[in-house]
Chain A
């Protein structure tokens, strides 16, 4: 027999025992027996807990909770039947199993059958031992030993109950979304049961017993529904409507009381009551609408007021185009309470939390998809709702032109970077060819001409011609060197970027100025990156020495995945608040970084300046 079938059989047994108990007492007409006052509660425990156990055990999760509910149900049914049949040997102790675990083990294991942490196992042991001792003490009652055992069980169960409460409170604090709803369901029903139990002394029999039976029955039903997550996602809607209705009723009642009391102080009671009622009637619709809107906003943000979402989105589009995706995402998360929102420009991908359902909405501009808006639903929601999607579609239409402009700007930047990279690579090749090819050939020719001039001897004409030719070749070599130096900094090709930077530092170093160079770049870099880094470093060093009167300067070149970073830090006077008129240095550095798709940041204070450049080494 499978465990589920066994559970169903035991649940049926519990249900039959409970029904049998009610039938026996009804047939005997002994409902007014004081010993049977709690029988409706026990019977309800037997039926409802067994039914909830079957519901839980038929699912995939929470098996421990299912068996625990079944145990409680069997004990409750046993208590009901033994009370009905007046079997005191059983009814004296079995009630313990139908009541105590509800206060100790259920809160510890709810809602997934796992403890809040490994350190909670002692409380499970304490609860079980306490329950057993309490049951044994009840069975052997009266007597000194039985009393001692009973007290020992109670002493163990008291902290176990507190531990159960703490466990629920911890789960409430730590959880979000669905788990929080599960805990909320238990808390609401448990609170109701507590309130009904407290009211017992005020309620006459059988109203009190029936009310308590109903409240007791709600707990396992709620636990079953919560553990199996059946329609739990729809709970928000019900809660939303309940809060709206309750809020309206309380507002109207309070307004009526206020008005009635105030008006009755100066007018006859009838007039006061009628006026207060009339005012409340007038308030009913507008107040209801606004309160429901407020409740909706509490749960779903500004979904019911798309104009507000659009207004916030428009504000996010006003500033720097490059930050539009992040700002729009933030606005959507804030105004619609979404789990997350991100815009992927073009074909780019964006990271999102794994396991969460992602809804993608295309951003279309002039018939072309220019990006994608990816959103995850609110905590606890299975997916983005149709109403949210409607609002998001309007936002997409509003954002798409900005994203198209951003995409265009990106492409422009990329093509510019590609052009610069190609230009620098071509210059490097050209310089190498001129230096190693034409330059070497000219040097050879010059050497030959000078040798020929020496061999000619006394022939003044030939000697003069060869002397002139040697001078012409020497001039051509100088011109060639000037051309190659203009193509790229000679130091980079001759010595490499690191040595080139050290060369720059050496030229700036004086007894009063110390320049340190730290490089951490292995392997060749793209020509454009080498030139940009060299030129930015040269400009920053010159600025530090000339304008900031720096004493110590540090140049750091480091490799990072996909880029190199260059830092030039000095201890000088910092930059002036207003840039110097006609100064081209900052613009030049900016242009060097920008044209290869890099980023330049200058942080300046009274104690120094940091020039930080990030230069991409891979084509984007």
Chain B
């Protein structure tokens, strides 16, 4: 009986030897490939790393403290976490000769795709130029990968995650439109430094990641990432007094999203 089955005797001999030789299908990338990965990886990681270091310095020293919310979220730590969270797993998998996980691949595509869409909608503050740099370095990294992530994935909608993800998306849509219109109307510092574009971009990444997690079983873990991102964004907003109603709603939606995604990922 399974579980607690009635065992049948297995006849014959089995030999277990320890330590066993590691059987693997990985092929170690050649020196040329690794050099290409190192160069493209450096290019892809340089910007978010510098960005993270600067933002952390701002947070520690209190510089531009009126922008603390953006430093902690859309123009700061959360955005760079998502950025590096997509690029680094691709790079590590490529270096080891493994196929990168679809989660990392899709997160990177979502990151670049939503950024490009938001840059097209809010062209001020150098956002399109930034997106060209990000897309270019990202493309070079993908070209250098020995094996690319599997992107043709079977679709199986999770009936609990889908409504929560879409409701979260609906919650984010007016926020994104609002941030884009604010970016259009921005003058002075905000016109040069596109905080509102970044916030719209962040919300789009998280919302799209949540919807994809609801659609594709292999990407359910993206829902946990998106949920955690929403919780962080909402919690920071609530703590720093930024649009408290929306922030609390985002915390609730993010927590639900993370919890349901975790359950779905375990299944």
- Interface set of A (CB-CB < 8 Å, partner B): 243-244, 246-247, 250-251, 253-255, 257-258, 261-262, 265, 287, 290-295, 297-298, 320, 322-323, 325-326, 329-330, 333, 340-342, 345, 348-353, 374, 413, 574-575, 577, 586, 589-590, 593-594, 597-606, 614, 616
Contacts and interface: CB of A to CB of B under 8 A. Distances in A.
A339 B96 CA distance: 41
Nearest to A252: B166
Nearest to A406: B8
B5 A326 contact: yes
A342 B1 CA distance: 4
B2 to A, nearest CB: 3
A597 B18 CA distance: 27
A244 B158 CA distance: 11
A124 B52 CA distance: 58
Contacts of B158: 294
Given A291-B159, A577-B17, A616-B9, 11 more contacts: A258-B173, A261-B170, A325-B5, A342-B5, A351-B6, A593-B13, A599-B13, A601-B14, A604-B18, A605-B18, A606-B18
A601 B16 CA distance: 8
B32 interface: no
A594 B11 CA distance: 6
Interface string B5-34: 111111111111111010000000000000
A594 B1 contact: no
A374 B173 contact: no
B205 to A, nearest CB: 15
Interface string B130-171: 000000000000000000000000011111101100110110
Nearest to A329: B2
Contacts of B157: 287, 290-291, 293-294
Contacts of B18: 603-606
B15 A341 contact: no
Interface residues of B, number: 35
> Top 8 A-B pairs ranked by shortest CB distance?
A329-B2, A254-B166, A250-B163, A294-B159, A342-B1, A590-B13, A605-B18, A257-B170
B6 A350 contact: yes
Given A243-B159, A251-B163, A262-B177, A340 B2 contact: yes
Given A250-B163, A333-B2, A342-B1, A261 B11 contact: no
Given A254-B170, A290-B157, A597 B162 contact: no
Given A342-B6, A605-B18, A250 B166 contact: yes
10 contacts: A250-B163, A250-B166, A254-B166, A294-B157, A298-B160, A322-B11, A340-B1, A351-B1, A593-B13, A602-B14
B4 interface: yes
Nearest to A331: B2
A358 B256 CA distance: 38
Given A294-B158, A333-B2, A597-B11, A258 B170 contact: yes
Given A294-B157, A599-B10, A604 B15 contact: yes
Nearest to A374: B1
A352 B163 CA distance: 40
Given A251-B163, A254-B167, A345-B8, A294 B156 contact: yes
Nearest to B14: A601
B174 interface: yes
Q: Give the residue among B4, B11, B169 with the most A Cβ atoms within 10 A.
A: B11
B3 interface: yes
Contact of A247 (B5, B8, B155, B159): B159
Nearest to A409: B11
Nearest to B263: A298
Interface of B: 1-19, 21, 155-160, 162-163, 166-167, 169-170, 173-174, 177
Q: Give the residue among A323, A349, A602, A616 with the most B Cβ atoms within 10 A.
A: A602
A161 B3 CA distance: 39
Contacts of B11: 322, 413, 594, 597-599
Nearest to B3: A340
Contacts of A257: 170, 173
A239 B158 CA distance: 16
A427 B2 CA distance: 43
Contact of B8 (A261, A325, A600): A325
A231 to B, nearest CB: 24
Contacts of B6: 342, 348-351
A251 B2 contact: no
A290 B16 CA distance: 46
B162 A251 contact: yes
A295 B5 CA distance: 30
A294 B264 CA distance: 11
B169 A254 contact: yes
Nearest to B177: A265
A605 B15 CA distance: 11
A351 B6 CA distance: 6
Contacts of B15: 575, 586, 601-604
B174 A261 contact: yes
A290 B15 CA distance: 47
A262 B174 CA distance: 8
Contact of B16 (A254, A325, A603): A603
Given A374-B1, A577-B21, A258 B169 contact: yes
Contacts of B156: 290, 294, 297
B16 A604 contact: yes
A560 to B, nearest CB: 13
Q: Give the residue among A254, A341, A600, A603 with the most B Cβ atoms within 10 A.
A: A254
Contacts of A604: 15-18
Q: Give the residue among B5, B10, B155 with the most A Cβ atoms within 10 A.
A: B5
Nearest to A340: B1
A577 B21 CA distance: 8
A350 B5 contact: yes
Nearest to A246: B163
A352 B1 contact: yes
A255 B13 contact: no
